[in-house]
Structure 1
Amino acid sequence: MSSSGKIKFAIIGAGVIAPLHAGAIRAHPEAELVAVADSVKEKAQKLANEYGVPFVYEHIGQLLEQCEVDAVCVCLPSGLHGEAVIAAAEAGKHVLCEKPLDITLKSMDAMIAACRNHKVKLATVFQKRTTELAIRTRQAVQQGKLGKLVLGDAYLKYYRSPEYYRSADWRGTWEIDGGGALMNQGVHGVDIIRWIMGDVDSVFAYAAPLVRDIEVEDTAVAVVKYRNGAFGVIQGATSVNPGQEPRFEIHGEHGSIVYADSGIKLWKTADGEEPPVIAAAERRAEGSDNPHDISEDGHYMLLDDLIRAIREDREPLISGEEARKSVELILAIYESARTGKEVKLL
C-alpha cells in the first residue's frame, strides 16, 4: 500500500475497456493507479499520460517484478486473461478481471486455484449486477413474489460493424475472443439471467456467423432448462441493426417482471407491490450499438467491493467461481450448436 494507506493498482492491457478502470481508480479515495502495461507500449503510454500514471511497462512480468502494487486490473482480450491472472496471483497481487473470466474451463479453474493457493482475491467485472434493476428483480424472485418460476428469457441484441471486427485481429476468433456475440457482448446478459433464475440444467442451441465474415457466431439462440424446472430463451447477436437494449423477462405462476436498460417495462407481483423507482441515471441503454458507450459507475462499485474484500478479508461480490458459471453456460451453448444435441451442464 502507499504511505497514505491507499491500495496501489496497475492496469494490464490498455485497450477499449482500460479507461473505465483507470477512471474508477482515480475517482476512488482509497485507490491509486501507479502503473500500466501493454504489449504495445505506445498504448500504455497514452493511457498513462491521460491519467497521470508514473510507470509504464511493455511486459506483464516486468511490471510484477519491478513495480510495487497491491492489485491489478486485467483488461486484456478474453483468451489472455488466464496467463495474466495466474502471474499476478503468483506475485501476490489481488485481481480485478474483466469479463469473461476466461474462455475455457481449464484456464478458469487454473486461475481460481492460483488465487486460492496464493491467498489473493479474484474479482470479476459484471457491472450489470450492480444495477438497481437487476438487484430488485433478483430479490423479488428469491422472496417468491412471482410464485413458481416458469420462464426466464434474455434478449441480447447488439450491433457491431464490420469495422469493429477488423479493428483488432483477435476479435471474432475462437482462439482469443473465445466466441462472438455471446462470449464477448452477451456474456453480461447471460450472467444476469442465470444469476436471477438460478443454475441451468441443459441447453439446446443454434449459433452461426450470419452476416459478419468472422469464424465465431454473430447470431445465437438457445432454449434453456433451469434446474428449478423453468424454461427460457437466450438470444445473443451482434448482427441486429440497429442494436437493441438488452431485455430480461421473468415470469412466474403469480407474477412477471420485464426490464431493459431503460427501465422497468412490467412489474406484477403476488403481493401487488408497486414497481421500484429507478434513478434516471441508471435508465440508459449501454453498448448496444457503441462498445464505448458504457457507464463507469459499475466498474467503480466493483473496484470498491474488491477494496472492501481486501481490507475485510472476505470474498468479492463476483468471485472467480461465480464468474465461471456464465462462461460454462456459453460453452455448453456452443457445444450444442456444434453437435446439434441437447447439452447438460454438470
Structure 2
Amino acid sequence: MSKKFRVGVIGAGIASRHLSGFSWNKEMFDVAVVCSLDEDRGAALCEEFGVPEYTQDAETMIARSDLDIIDICTPPGSHFALCRKAIEAGKHVICEKPLFGSIAEVDEMARIVARAEGPRLMPIFQYRYGSGLQKLKMLIDLGLTGTPFLTTIETHWWRGADYYAVPWRGKWATEFGGGLLGHAIHAHDMLNYVHGACAEIFSYGATLVNPIQVEDTAALSVKMKNGSLATLSMTLGSRKEISRLRFCFSDLVVESIVEPYTMGRDPWTFIAGTEAHQKRVDDALAGYVVKEDGYTRQFELFHHALTTGGQPPVTLEDARNSLELVTAAYHSQRTGVPTKLPILSDHPLYHSWLPEEERRQAAGA
C-alpha cells in the first residue's frame, strides 16, 4: 500500500478547489487541518470536506510533526515567506500561482530547497492536465506534429468592479501584477509546457477596463527558443469570455476549445496536412488513455513523485519560465523595446517587476 501523506491547507478561497482535488485522491492524501484568518470560511470548508481541525495559527501548523505537506492557497504576497517556513520545517510544499513576486525569489527558493535536502516544492499549474493538451503532448512525443511554426493564445475574460472589491486585488503591492500575472498565466504556462522557454518578448500593456493600478489588457509578440513564434493577447474586458490556443506545426494544426476556464480539456481538434498523416494522428489519438485532470491529476502526479523520489510534475523551473515571461513583458512595456530572456541577476527587473514607486514603498515597508 502506498504512503498516505497528511496535509495542512492554508487559505479558504481557492483552497476549496484544492480540497476537491485531495478528496478525489483519498487513498493518497489525508487533509488534517485547514488554516485561515477568516473563521467563517475556514470552518465552512472543514465541514464541507470533512477536515477534522481548523486553526488560525499558520506558524504552529507548519511546525507540526504530524504533517507531511503544507498547501499554500493564500494571496501572492505571503507565498514566499510561507514556502520558506514550510521547507525549512522539512515539509513538502504545494503553492498556488503566481508563485512569487520576482525571479530573484524563485532562484532563492531553489537554493532553500536544495539546502533542505528532501522537501519538494510544487507550484500549481493544474490546467496542464486537460485531455486536449495532454493529447498534443503525446503527439509531440510520438513525432507526429512536425516543426513548430506559430502559436496563438487568447485569454479574453471579464472582470468588473465587484471582482476588485477584494482589497488585495488590482494593487501592485499585494497582487504583484494584473491579468498577465493572475489570469493569463495558465494559458501562457501551456505555451512553455508545449514549446519550452521563451527567447524574446515585445509587449504592449494597458489599464483600460477598471480603475486599478495594474494592467488589464495586453498584447505580446514572442520568439521561442525552439525557433517558433507566438502571439499572446489578454484582456479582462471581454463580455464574452473565451480562452483559445492554436498551435501550427508543419504536419498538424491543433486547436483548443474556447471555454474560458477549462480550455485544456477535450474536445480539441487535430488537423493534419494529408489523409495519410491524419490517419496516423487519429490512430495515435485512439490509443490515448483518459485520466483525471486539473488539481486531481496534478496532486496524483505529486504523490507519485514523492513516493518514487522523482521531481514534482510542475517544478520551480516551470514557475521561473512563467514568471520570466511576465517579467520580460513588463520590461518591454516600460522600455518600448523587445526584452531578451533568460532574466538573470543583472537584469533591472530581476529583483522585482513592480514599478519604481511601488518598489520604493515596498522597500520602506
So what's the TM-score if we normalise by structure 2? 0.83
Contact persistence 2:11–2:72 (CA under 8 A): yes
Partner of 1:304: 300
Matched residues, number: 326
Alpha-carbon displacement from aligned partner over 1:278-326 (angstroms, at most 9, x marks no partner): 99x99xxxxxxxxxxxxx9411111111222111111111112222211
Alpha-carbon shift at residue 42 of structure 1 (Å)? 3.4
Partner of 1:156: 155
CA distance in 2, matches of 1:109, 1:191: 18
Contact persistence 1:150–1:230 (CA under 8 A): yes
Partner of 2:336: 340
Partner of 2:356: none
Q: Does 1:326 align with 2:322?
A: yes
Partner of 2:241: 243
CA distance in 2, matches of 1:103, 1:267: 39
Gaps of 5+ in 1: 283-295
Partner of 1:263: 267
Task: Choose the corresponding residue for 2:96, options 72, 95, 98.
Answer: 98
Q: Output the amino acid matched with 2:198.
A: V
Alpha-carbon shift at residue 67 of structure 1 (Å)? 6.2
SS in 1 for 2:114: helix
CA distance in 1, matches of 2:334, 2:318: 26
* Percent of matched pairs sharing the same residue: 27
- After alignment, is 195-204 or 58-67 more displaced? 58-67
Partner of 2:183: 185
Q: Does 1:26 align with 2:23?
A: yes
Alpha-carbon displacement from aligned partner over 1:69-128 (angstroms, at most 9, x marks no partner): 110111011232111111110111101111222221122222232222212011122112
Runs ≥4 in structure 1, deviation > 6 angstroms? none
Partner of 2:145: 146
CA distance in 1, matches of 2:121, 2:3: 21
SS in 2 for 1:205: strand
CA distance in 2, matches of 1:267, 1:160: 34
Alpha-carbon shift at residue 155 of structure 1 (Å)? 1.0
Q: Output the amino acid matched with 2:251.
A: H
Contact persistence 1:132–1:278 (CA under 8 A): no
Q: Does 1:13 align with 2:17?
A: no
CA distance in 2, matches of 1:105, 1:86: 15
CA distance in 2, matches of 1:198, 1:320: 14
SS in 2 for 1:224: strand
Contact persistence 2:3–2:307 (CA under 8 A): no
Contact persistence 1:152–1:197 (CA under 8 A): no
The 1:110–1:45 alpha-carbon spacing in structure 2 relative to 1, beyond 3 Å, is farther
CA distance in 2, matches of 1:225, 1:318: 23
Alpha-carbon displacement from aligned partner over 1:212-267 (angstroms, at most 9, x marks no partner): 111111111100011122211011121111211x2111112333212222622452
Alpha-carbon shift at residue 145 of structure 1 (Å)? 2.9
CA distance in 1, matches of 2:147, 2:28: 43
Partner of 2:224: 226
CA distance in 2, matches of 1:218, 1:344: 23
Contact persistence 1:79–1:178 (CA under 8 A): yes
C-alpha RMSD over aligned residues: 2.3
Partner of 2:355: none
SS in 1 for 2:162: helix
Alpha-carbon shift at residue 5 of structure 1 (Å)? 5.0
Alpha-carbon displacement from aligned partner over 1:26-48 (angstroms, at most 9, x marks no partner): 23212111111123333322222
CA distance in 2, matches of 1:148, 1:297: 27
Partner of 1:292: none
Alpha-carbon shift at residue 277 of structure 1 (Å)? 6.2
Contact persistence 1:13–1:38 (CA under 8 A): yes
CA distance in 2, matches of 1:88, 1:114: 11
Partner of 1:313: 309
Alpha-carbon shift at residue 153 of structure 1 (Å)? 1.5
SS in 2 for 1:210: coil
Contact persistence 1:219–1:236 (CA under 8 A): yes
Gaps of 5+ in 2: 258-262, 343-365
Q: Output the amino acid matched with 2:167.
A: D
So what's the TM-score if we normalise by structure 1? 0.87
Partner of 2:69: 71
The 1:94–1:66 alpha-carbon spacing in structure 2 relative to 1, beyond 3 Å, is closer
